[in-house]
């Protein structure tokens, strides 16, 4: 009756295993939970969901909360996963087996009823007032005083076993024990929207910009530059990682300090996770301005928890200038890049042939199309089924500019203006696993000042089947005044789309979408009024 499934990506092994495999430092419980005269196993699965491994159940995620969502006792990853101790007992004597979970002592999940063939567990609360947990606790029960009621025993980290009689435990009022019906789901801002939050609420810097996001085997990692303001010498490269439950606080990993009397700002971080067990790469720029900056890279060997091994890229190599690079079938990394020399903006591409040694000049190839009739920077990629690459670029011409390559980025077609507006601000594109293309951008032209500069107070999502004809999907965020700009976008292993972007230069917005629910609402001209 047991099924086989792969472990989460953060596990170093990736072999199929039976569903009896659980997270570390958890305590499964064996009992006849469904009363079919055969032993069942109450256990967390490898993703932290509470399950009942039973021959009588098709779906082992047999437990749900009052809103009829599967109960997930630990959504965190790696070393913060697991650590869940379980006990099964009919705590209130109603004939239904309840579940106790470690907390400051033990938290009671009451088995309230069966809905649609699944058990509704209501989280009632701790059974005692005293916190004995320390690092963790391990609850158990027995009729210690033989009064016909289960008493609570808790093993604690300090080596002691604590006991409290049933009648001395917290007595919850009857109304607190009854389950409510599922709450009506609030309509999302648009179909496919899953969640939206900030990577951080408070930070030791007043402004931020140019975020980047990536998925590692240990979860999501985001980075950005932060400081007094863009171009200020105190601007450094900061990052946070997501442990499956929340984002870590911002940590600074790189500054532009040259010596005691000279410090430059840093710019435009770009995260890239190579396949296999290779370290996470964090590209960024250092220099007084975009005309004089140079490229550098940091490495993380622990999934974005820390960065080290800082290296400077060869002369004339910037690495990915703002948008994510593309790993080619050859194993080479194609980096979209550009230069800004006075009033001359030009795009080019850089190919890294050895990801382990980006500091070596003979490991790079640089491809810069000669004919460039448009002022463009910061290319972003789309991929097509026949192997064609498409580059979409920010421009000074109030339109996104595009080009195509059929030889893995060595040569490119003549640049052409698209019908998509551009406010001389960064864009990000993504080809989904199902072949559809997404574009996050400000559907706004110029008008703020010359050279195509426009406002950034609205940010939009568009979709295309061929990369040429785009349709409106959603207005992601808008305000009468403000800035929502410089998006980054990926599709994670679970199929969801993650977007980050600058929020008023104060925070980094993180938005999660379900691409299976995204649908065009009409032509992109609908955005003209929004």
Q: Which of 152-161, 168-177, 468-477 has the lowest mean pLDDT?
A: 152-161
Specify the pLDDT at position 16. Answer: 76
Question: Which DSSP string do the residues of 340-388 spell out, in sequence order?
Answer: EETTEEEEEEEEES-TT-TT-GGGEEEE--S---S-EEEEEEEE-TTS-
Q: Among 263, 288, 312, identify where a domain stops.
A: 312
Contact 54, 64 (CB under 8 A): no
Same domain, 367 and 306: no
Specify the pLDDT at position 258. Answer: 98
Nearest to 374 by CA among 392, 361, 349: 392
Cα four-point dihedral sign 177, 182, 187, 189: positive
Q: Does residue 18 sit within a domain?
A: no
Q: Give the pairing type, strands 522-523 and 470-478.
A: antiparallel
Q: What span, in angstroms and rounded, lies between the C-alpha atoms of 304 and 509?
A: 19
Q: What span, in angstroms and rounded, lies between the C-alpha atoms of 334 and 367?
A: 10
Q: Among 264, 281, 312, identify where a domain stops.
A: 312
For residue 19, is pLDDT > 80?
Answer: no
Q: What does the pLDDT look like over 364-395, one tens digit per residue?
A: 999 999 999 999 999 999 999 999 999 999 99
Token representation of residue 41: 């196993």
Same domain, 306 and 338: no
Specify the pLDDT at position 2. Answer: 63
207: number of CA atoms within 13 Å, CB side?
15
Instruction: Work out the average pLDDT over 63-84.
Output: 90
Same domain, 335 and 302: no
Nearest to 459 by CA among 488, 431, 493, 492: 488
Specify the pLDDT at position 135. Answer: 76
User: What's the CATH number where 390 sits?
Assistant: 2.120.10.10
What is the pLDDT of the chain when averaged over all its residues?
94
Q: Does residue 247 sit within a domain?
A: yes
Same domain, 482 and 350: yes
Q: Does residue 20 sit within a domain?
A: no
Q: Does residue 184 sit within a domain?
A: no
For residue 14, is pLDDT > 80?
Answer: no
Same domain, 151 and 262: no
Instruction: Show the CA angle centred on residue 130, arms to residues 126 and 134, nearest 5°.
Output: 95
Distance, first Cα to last Cα, the chain: 54
Q: Does residue 372 sit within a domain?
A: yes
Number of domains observed in the structure of the chain: 3
Contact 18, 28 (CB under 8 A): no
Measure CA 123 to chain center: 28
Contact 219, 11 (CB under 8 A): no
Q: What span, in angstroms and rounded, lies between the C-alpha atoms of 497 and 465?
A: 17
Q: What does the pLDDT look like over 143-166, one tens digit per residue?
A: 999 999 999 999 998 889 999 999
| Structural domain boundaries enclosing 245 | 200-312
pLDDT band at 56 (very low <50, low <70, confident <90, very high): confident
Q: Does residue 490 sit within a domain?
A: yes
Burial of residue 187 (number of CB atoms within 10 Å: 0-12, 13-18, 19+): exposed
Specify the pLDDT at position 527. Answer: 95
Same domain, 300 and 349: no
Same domain, 308 and 347: no
Specify the pLDDT at position 12. Answer: 65
Q: Does residue 73 sit within a domain?
A: yes
Specify the pLDDT at position 126. Answer: 97
Q: Does residue 185 sit within a domain?
A: no
**What is the value of pTM for the model shown?**
0.89
Same domain, 155 and 271: no
Instruction: Work out the average pLDDT over 174-198.
Output: 95
Token representation of residue 469: 């004809």
Same domain, 335 and 475: yes
**pLDDT top residue among 109 and 157:** 109
Same domain, 284 and 360: no
Q: What is the phi-psi region of residue 413: left when phi exceeds 0, alpha when psi lies from -120 to 50, beta otherwise?
A: beta
Burial of residue 271 (number of CB atoms within 10 Å: 0-12, 13-18, 19+): buried
Phi, psi of 174 (to 5 degrees): -55, -35
Same domain, 289 and 354: no
Q: In terms of residues, how long is the chain?
A: 530
Specify the pLDDT at position 340. Answer: 95
Contact 18, 4 (CB under 8 A): yes
Contact 397, 417 (CB under 8 A): yes
Contact 288, 235 (CB under 8 A): no
The three-class DSSP label of residue 174 is helix
pLDDT band at 136 (very low <50, low <70, confident <90, very high): confident
Q: Among 257, 277, 312, identify where a domain stops.
A: 312
Phi, psi of 512 (to 5 degrees): -115, 130
Residue 175 carries which DSSP code? H
Same domain, 300 and 334: no
């Amino acid at each position: 009756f047991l099924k086989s499934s792969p472990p989460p990506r953060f596990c170093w092994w990736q072999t199929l295993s039976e569903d009896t495999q659980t997270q570390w430092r958890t305590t499964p419980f064996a009992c006849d939970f469904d009363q079919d005269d055969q032993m069942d196993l109450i256990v967390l699965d490898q993703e932290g969901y509470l399950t009942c491994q039973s021959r009588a159940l098709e779906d082992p995620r047999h437990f749900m909360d009052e809103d009829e969502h599967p109960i997930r006792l630990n959504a965190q990853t790696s070393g913060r996963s697991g650590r869940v101790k379980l006990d099964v007992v009919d705590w209130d004597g109603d004939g239904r087996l309840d579940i106790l979970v470690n907390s400051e002592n033990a938290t009671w999940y009451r088995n309230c009823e069966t809905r649609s063939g699944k058990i509704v567990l209501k989280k009632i609360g701790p059974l005692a007032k005293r916190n004995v947990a320390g690092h963790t606790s391990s609850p158990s029960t027995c009729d210690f005083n033989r009064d016909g009621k289960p008493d609570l025993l808790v093993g604690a980290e300090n080596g002691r076993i604590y006991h409290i009689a049933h009648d001395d435990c917290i007595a919850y009022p009857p109304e607190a024990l009854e389950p409510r019906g599922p709450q009506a789901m609030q309509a999302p801002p648009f179909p496919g929207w899953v969640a939206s939050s900030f990577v951080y609420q408070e930070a030791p810097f007043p402004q931020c910009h140019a975020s980047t996001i990536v998925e590692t085997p240990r979860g999501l990692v985001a980075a950005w530059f932060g400081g007094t303001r863009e171009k200020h010498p105190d601007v450094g490269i900061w990052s946070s990682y997501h442990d499956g439950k929340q984002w870590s606080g911002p940590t600074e990993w790189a500054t532009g300090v040259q010596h005691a009397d000279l410090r430059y700002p840093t710019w435009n971080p770009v995260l890239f996770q190579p396949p296999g067990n290779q370290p996470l790469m964090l590209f960024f720029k250092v220099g007084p301005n975009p005309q004089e900056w140079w490229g550098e890279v940091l490495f993380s060997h622990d999934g974005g928890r820390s960065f080290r091994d800082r290296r400077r890229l060869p002369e004339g190599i910037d690495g990915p200038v703002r948008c994510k690079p593309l790993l080619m079938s050859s194993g080479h990394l194609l980096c979209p890049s550009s230069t800004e020399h006075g009033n001359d903006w030009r795009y080019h591409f850089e190919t890294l042939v050895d990801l382990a040694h980006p500091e070596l000049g003979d490991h790079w190839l640089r491809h810069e199309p000669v004919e460039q009739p448009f002022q463009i920077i910061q290319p972003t990629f789309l991929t097509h089924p026949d192997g064609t690459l498409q580059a979409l670029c920010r421009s000074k011409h109030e339109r996104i500019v595009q080009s195509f390559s059929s030889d893995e980025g060595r040569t490119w077609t003549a640049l052409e203006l698209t019908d998509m507006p551009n406010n001389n601000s960064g864009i990000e594109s993504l080809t989904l696993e199902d072949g559809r293309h997404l574009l996050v951008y400000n559907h706004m032209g110029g008008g703020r000042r010359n050279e195509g500069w426009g406002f950034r107070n609205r940010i939009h999502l568009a979709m295309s089947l061929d990369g040429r004809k785009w349709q409106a999907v959603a207005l992601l965020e808008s305000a009468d005044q403000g800035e929502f700009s410089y998006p980054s976008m990926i599709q994670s292993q679970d199929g969801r789309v993650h977007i980050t972007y600058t929020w008023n230069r104060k925070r980094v917005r993180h938005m999660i979408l379900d691409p299976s629910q995204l649908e065009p609402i009409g032509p992109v001209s609908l955005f003209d009024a929004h």
